[in-house]
Structure 1
Amino acid sequence: MEKRYFTEQEANELIPEIKRELGSLKRVTQAFSEHYEQLEQHKKTLLFRNKTKVDEDLLFKKESRMEFMELEAQTFIRNILSIGVKIVDIESGVVSFPSFVNGVEVELYWHETQEAVSFSREALQAHELTKEDDQV
């Protein structure tokens, strides 16, 4: 897939879509973690007693559900990546948009609590260099 670059406006216009996909991804990963913890607890309790058919069925159902959740998460990740956005941190809700500022490749960052993208340190430095050039 060809790398895509975004203007600040293009990135901001994609925020509602990214927000939905990232929110769904976070819900699935949280549910996966909870199921995993429950599964591990159940396995620990089985160490102290004989495993029954009911136990085996329950373990199979939980493991199957987790496999489905993993596929769901992969779908949300693919959806986000197909837009051209990079996932920085799922838990924190941070993504980045490749961009150019004054000919310098930079990243525009967005956190799920923000209304709009913000510039990376590199983008701000490139912007400051342009300001200095304008003043000369």
Structure 2
Amino acid sequence: MHWESPTVRLLPRLLAGRTTGPVFLADRRAPAAGRRAPALGDICPDSGRGRLSYPRAEYLFKQASKLHDPHGTGYTLHQLRHSGLTHLAAKGRSAAELQAKSRHRHLATLGIYVRLGEETSARITAKNDEHHRRHRR
């Protein structure tokens, strides 16, 4: 996983000195035995708390983002992911780069992020035109 600088600066507070185990922890200790007991890698060795589940993470994110959502319902983790890819595409990242970042299996699924139009075609043509004469002033 690759983190951007602002996130990296926040990680020490989240990790609180832990060096092993899951990054995001549930509020409760994980069951030690039985059908619902998680794998050892999903338990913090210091606190015994288990890895935060995706549904719980989504709930917490929706609650935390309600104030920023014009509809007041909060955002989903999928919307967060979509937003990140949309911003990368707007900065000119290629479909292959977006695929590497998002781990989408097929380039076709990235069509909603990459909007190729007339300007893109003109820019690509001009950039790769070996016979284009540059005017000197």
- TM (norm. structure 2) is 0.25
Structure with greater helix share of residues: 1
- Structure possessing the higher relative contact order (Cα contacts under 8 Å, 6 or more residues apart): 1
Structure with greater strand share of residues: 1
